[in-house]
Structure 1
Amino acid sequence: MTLVYPAIFHEEDGSFWVEFPDLEGCQSFGDTIAETMEGAKEALAGYAAVVLEEGKQLPTPTPIQNIKPEEHCFVSLIDAKPASTKRAVKKTLSIPAWLNDLAEDAHAPYSAILQDGLEKYLHLA
Structure 2
Amino acid sequence: MAKYAYPAVFTPEEDGGFSIKFPDLEGCYTCGDDMVDSIAMAEDALALVLYEYEKDGREIPFPSSESSISLSDNEFINFIACDTLEYRKMYNNRSVKKTLTIPEWLNEAAVAMDLNFSQVLQEALISKIRI
Query: Do both proteins adopt the same fold according to a TM-score greater than 0.5, normalized to the shorter chain?
Result: yes
**Structure 1 equivalent of residue 3 of structure 2:** 2
Greater fraction of residues in helix = 2
Q: Whole-Å Cα distance in 1 between the matches of residues 52 and 36 of structure 2?
A: 25
**Against the structure 1 CA distance between its residues 30 and 50, is the aligned structure 2 distance closer, same or farther, given a 3 Å change threshold?**
same
Question: How many Å apart are 1:51 and its aligned residue?
Answer: 1.0
Secondary structure in structure 1 of the residue aligned to 2:50: helix
Among candidates 18, 32, 35, match of residue 33 of structure 1: 35
Task: Deviation per CA, 1:44-86: give whole Å up to 9, x if none.
Answer: 0000111111111211111123223111010010000123145
**Structure 1 equivalent of residue 26 of structure 2:** 24
Q: Which runs of 5+ in 2 are unaligned?
A: 99-119
**Structure 2 equivalent of residue 57 of structure 1:** 59
Pairs within 5 Å for 1:26-105: 26-82=28-84, 83-84=87-88, 85=92
Q: Which runs of 5+ in 1 are unaligned?
A: 91-106, 118-125
- RMSD, matched Cα: 2.4
Task: Deviation per CA, 1:72-104: give whole Å up to 9, x if none.
Answer: 01001000012314598x8xxxxxxxxxxxxxx
Q: Whole-Å Cα distance in 1 between the matches of residues 127 and 23 of structure 2?
A: 34
Secondary structure in structure 1 of the residue aligned to 2:61: coil
**Structure 1 equivalent of residue 13 of structure 2:** 12
Secondary structure in structure 2 of the residue aligned to 1:76: strand
* Larger Rg belongs to: 2
Q: TM-score, normalised by structure 2?
A: 0.66
User: Could you tell me which amino acid in structure 2 is paired with residue 2 of structure 1?
Assistant: K
Question: How many Å apart are 1:116 and its aligned residue?
Answer: 4.1
Work out the percentage of aligned pairs sharing the same amino acid.
Answer: 27
Q: Whole-Å Cα distance in 1 between the matches of residues 12 and 55 of structure 2?
A: 33
